[in-house]
Structure formats: C-alpha cells, structure tokens
Amino acid sequence: MRPFFTLKLVVASLLLAAAAPPAQAAAPPADLTVLAGRGQLFTLLLDGRPLTNGATRQVHVGWLAPGRHWADIQVFSPYGPPVGFRTTVWLQPGLDSRYALTASPYGPGLQALGAVVAGGYAGRGGYGNPYGGPGYGNPGYGGAPGGYGNAPYPAYPPSGAYPAPPAPGTQPGSYAPSEPYGPAPAGPNGGYGPAAPGGYGQPAPSPYPAPQGGYQGQGGYSKQGGYPDQGGYPDATTPSNLDPLPAAALRDLAQELREQPSDQTRLDVARQALAGSSLQARELTELLRALATEPARIELAELGYTHLSDPANFGQVYAGLRPASVAQVQRALGLQRSY
C-alpha cells in the first residue's frame, strides 16, 4: 500500500504544478532621452530627482522604472528669466522613450517623439545596461520614488537576475553615492565659463554687432525690463541654426501682440516667441506694425535683426520705421550702408 500511496502523491503534485499559473516575467527597465528641439538649455527632474548636472541640451538616462513619471523642466533663455513647467512622461519597458522640448509664443512644452529598442538588452543573458553604467542603479530608483506621487510600477526581479552593473559614477550621466549631482567639470566655475547672474555661464559671443546705448522713449516709454543699454543685446544663436518660425505661429504672434495692453508687454511676448527661432525680414516688418510706439519698433527691429535668416534683406524692415528711426537702428547695429 505504501508504494501506491506514494505514487498518488506524486501524480497529485504533478497535476497541481501543471494547473498553477506560469510566473510572470518582470518588466525590463526603461530608458529616457530628452532633447532640446531648438537648442535650449534646460534642467530636468524626474519624480523630484535631478537628471542633469546643471543646464544641458540633451540628457539620456537608463535603468529607469517603466510607467508614468513626473517631469519638472526649467528652460533657460538669453532674453528673460527661466520658464519652468511640469508634465508627465511614459516610459515603456525595454525601450528608449524619446521626447523633445518645443517652444511657442505660449511657452515651452514636451513632445513625444516615439520609442526605440534600447540597444543591448538582447543576447546578454538578461537585461544588461547597453550604455555601460547603471544610471541610478539597478533596479530603477531602488524603491518607490520620493517625488510627486509617481504611479506604481512593476517590481524588478530579485537581486542577481540582471548582470552586475559597473561601479557607480563610471558612466556619463550617472552619479556616485558621494556625489549626488555628479562631479563638476574641470575649470573655473565648474567648466561652464565665467559666472553670470542666475548661476549659468555666459552665452557664446554673438556674430552680430551690439547696439550702442539705448533710448528714453516718448510718452513715458522706457526700456525697463528690456535689454541693458550699455552691454548690447544678450547673445543669440546663429540664425542659420535656428528653426524658422512657422507661418501659422507668426500670424498668431502678430495677433497676440495687437491684443496686448502696452508695447512693453508686446516686446516681452515677442522676445519669448523669437527665443530659439528665426524669421525673415518681411515677417519682422509685419511684427513692427503691431506695435504702437516708435521706440518699441526700434527695439524690436534691433532685436529681430539677430534672428533674421536673410539679414541682407534687412532694408525691408525700414518700411515700418520713420526715417530718423532708420538712422538710429543703423548706428545701433553698426550698419555702414543704406539698403
């Protein structure tokens, strides 16, 4: 009887094992790439944790938990204070989810570009990090994010299921435990050039001449909150490397300028819209006509010159200015000939 009883136990165990649901494989880690669509400098926090060591134009981080995350982004511009916003990003397991910063007259945003297979996951006996480092360690953040209430994400396999990552701090973009924000680059001011108000280095020199002096406008208008009179305009990126302002965005911008209560606010809106964008001389002329006072038109003409994709046609802009203003703009920009 004992052998028969033992056989019954073995058969019952096999039946139970066959009926048990298969173990679910844990989701592989995810990658995140954020690019500056128009060359803007930005900082990024994911679930309250900084992913950038100072301002940057691109960031890539691997070994993140799949699912929804909060992203806090601060975008810097040479024409005004930083602009911050919060949004959510969705990281797909085993993929590199890619996003790009966008700019519009209404403020910056984040646009999903899609997702590609995070290279190096296959054929390595597990989910090794293809970028040579752990990002924030393995797995993910090592626990529930301590930021803004991130949605739950799948648990990672027990220790040892993934290949051992390299030592912390050996991958660009990863931070050693003793240096939570990563080592500072060599050189004065952490390698970012001379310190500027706000904590970031000065932009590269502008290829365009700086205006000489400012003006005190008629009717109480002044350059308060605008550009410094003695230092010229803040440096801008070469217009050939900037994205052209779309025709629809230009029409919206001209309409928005007309709806503003004063030329000072119109200039503020124009600065934000032109940051990181280029336009043509005839388009700049249309924007000048949306302003009410001649001093404001002069300032916008001088600002717009640094964003022209066709500076040889700058003479078209003079149609929106008085003759005396044309001479003032030419002197400010160092233009020696008439168009």
Q: What is the pLDDT at residue 133?
A: 40
CA distance 272 to 76: 11
Average pLDDT over residues 117-133: 46
Residue 61: inside a domain: yes
pLDDT of 61 reads: 92
Q: Does the model's pTM come out above 0.75?
A: no
Same-domain check for residues 160 and 280: no
Q: Are residues 78 and 35 in the same domain?
A: yes
Task: State the chain's maximal CA–CA distance in angstroms.
Answer: 117
Query: 262 or 107: which carries more pLDDT confidence?
Result: 262
Residue 69 lies in a domain: yes
Tell me if 48 sits within 8 A of 72, measured CB to CB: yes
Rounded Cα gap, residues 31 and 169, in angstroms? 18
CA distance 12 to 21: 16
The total domain count for the chain is: 2
Residue 289 pLDDT > 80:
yes
What is the Cα Rg of the chain in Å? 28
Domain that holds residue 294: 218-333
Each residue's pLDDT tens digit, 156-191: 444 444 444 445 444 444 333 333 444 444 444 444
pLDDT value of residue 3: 56
Is 12 among the domain residues?
no
Mean pLDDT of the chain: 69
In-domain check, residue 165? yes
209 domain residue, yes or no = no
Q: Which two tokens stand for residue 281?
A: 């001389």
**178 & 233 share domain:** no
Separation CA 261–CA 249 (nearest Å) = 20
H or E stretch covering 8: helix 2-19
First to last CA, the chain: 112
Cα 336 to Cα 59, 171, 275, 277, distances in angstroms:
44, 52, 27, 26
Tell me, yes or no, whether 171 and 225 share the same domain: no
Residues 162 and 259 both lie in one domain: no
Residue 198 maps to a domain: no
Q: Are residues 222 and 187 in the same domain?
A: no
Give the integer Cα–Cα distance in Å for 296 and 317: 14
- 329 domain-assigned: yes
